[in-house]
Copies of this chain bind each other. A is one copy, B any other.
Amino acid sequence: MDAAIACFRRRGFHQATMAEICAEAGISAGALYRYFSSKADIIGAIAEDKRGENDEAFKRAADQHGFIEAICLSARGFFDKFADGDGALIADILSEAIRDDAVSASLRCTDQSSVQIFMQAFRHAQTRGEIDATLDPEIATNTLFGALEGIGLRRAFCRETDADEAISQFRALAERYLEPRP
């Protein structure tokens, strides 16, 4: 899987060939298909793996700092990927996940557990009065996830690679969206 990440990062999902991944991993084509059922399956597995790492970091941050600080920290990790040139790869993952039900089902499950973790922190922040208590936690979490991803993709499209700018852009949106109403 590390070999696949290296190849996808170097050349992109559709440009990288199975032969390259095999060479990088030091195995044959047949062996690769023993571990992954298709090329789309590889990208799905990568996406799930990355998501799991991020959840852990968020949970720690949400305990120590506020909810907004914690999502901005998550955002930093996410925007750094775009700075590394992984923007197109993330778009490819989305495309495969939207089109391919096999990839999607498993990724949606992982995504759902991320949403649960964020929702729990969201509710705590609501009771603390840090964010607006009238917001629906599930809708708001999904809105923030979507906006974060969209801002990152758009910045990659516009060739804007400064991660700090991206974060302050996202932070301004999140703060105004979540701010308690009088």
Contact = CB atoms under 8 A, between A and B. Distances in A.
A151 to B, nearest CB: 4
A70 interface: no
Nearest to A11: B99
Interface stretch (A29-37, A50-58, A142-150): A142-150
A128 interface: no
Contact of A149 (B12, B153, B173): B153
Interface of A is mostly: helix
A81 interface: no
**Chain copies in the assembled complex:** 2
A154 B158 contact: no
A122 to B, nearest CB: 15
A157 B92 contact: no
Interface in A144-182: 145-159, 169-170, 172-173, 176-177, 179
